[in-house]
């Protein structure tokens, strides 16, 4: 009986260590098991070019909230600053982020900080570049052609 108890006491720390490591590993999202599908996770406020075009200095917070939605971060210590943040993490671990910061003074929009803002097309291109997908390059002829000329060229091809 004594031998059985000694064996139990010697194996208990090892067993507890194995159980603790197994539990810790199940909580880690950084582990990537092969063959396991991971979804793309988008969080925050998706900021479109149309929304940004509607913003005007002098708008009330209520008007801004109508155009942009609720801010992702409204700091209680800095109520005059609203941060609209969007992040997308793909299942492969690629992360793209977009941020727009608005500053208010005397209950009016005073400043729009677009220093960390990317329009949706640039955000898409950033994601594709990180994924290793080559971006389609526009041809020189298409860039130099005015929309009216493109329409005329299309009509000439049909005729």
Asked, for residue 62, whether it belongs to a domain, the answer is yes
DSSP character string of 67-129: HH-S-SEE-SS-TTEEEEEEEEE-TTS-EEEEEEEEEEETTEEEEEE-TT---HHHHHHHHHH
* pLDDT value of residue 8: 58
Tokens for 138, please give them.
């526009």
Asked, for residue 72, whether it belongs to a domain, the answer is yes
Please, what is the end-to-end C-alpha distance for the chain in angstroms? Answer: 100
In this prediction, residue 157 has a pLDDT band, given cuts at 50, 70 and 90, of low
Whichever domain contains 68, its CATH number is 3.30.1450
* pLDDT value of residue 94: 80
Asked, for residue 131, whether it belongs to a domain, the answer is yes
Asked, for residue 89, whether it belongs to a domain, the answer is yes
CA distance 159 to 153: 10
* pLDDT value of residue 59: 94
Q: What are phi and psi of 87, to 5 degrees?
A: -135, 145
Domain enclosing residue 62, as ranges? 38-135
Asked, for residue 67, whether it belongs to a domain, the answer is yes
Q: What is the pLDDT of residues 102-141, one digit of tens each?
A: 999 999 999 999 888 888 777 788 878 877 777 777 665 5
Q: What is the pLDDT of residues 2-58, one digit of tens each?
A: 775 566 566 666 655 666 665 565 655 556 677 777 887 888 888 888 899 999 999
* pLDDT value of residue 7: 63
pTM for this prediction: 0.59
**How many domains, in total, are found in the chain?**
1
Asked, for residue 50, whether it belongs to a domain, the answer is yes
* pLDDT value of residue 60: 94
Asked, for residue 130, whether it belongs to a domain, the answer is yes
Asked, for residue 79, whether it belongs to a domain, the answer is yes
At residue 77, does pLDDT exceed 80? yes
* pLDDT value of residue 151: 55
* pLDDT value of residue 109: 94
């Amino acid at each position: 009986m004594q031998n059985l108890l000694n064996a139990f006491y010697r194996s208990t720390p090892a067993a507890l260590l194995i159980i603790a490591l197994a539990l810790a590993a199940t909580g880690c999202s950084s582990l990537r098991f092969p063959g396991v599908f991971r979804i793309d996770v988008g969080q925050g406020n998706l900021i479109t070019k149309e929304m940004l075009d509607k913003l005007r200095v002098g708008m009330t917070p209520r008007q801004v909230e109508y155009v942009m939605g609720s801010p992702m971060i409204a700091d209680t210590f800095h109520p005059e600053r609203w941060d609209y943040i969007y992040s997308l993490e793909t299942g492969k671990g690629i992360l793209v982020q977009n941020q727009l910061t608005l500053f208010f003074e005397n209950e009016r929009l005073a400043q729009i900080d677009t220093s960390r803002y990317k329009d949706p097309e640039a955000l898409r291109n950033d994601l594709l570049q990180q994924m290793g997908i080559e971006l389609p390059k526009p041809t020189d002829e298409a860039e130099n052609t005015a929309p009216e000329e493109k329409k005329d060229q299309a009509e000439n091809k049909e005729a």
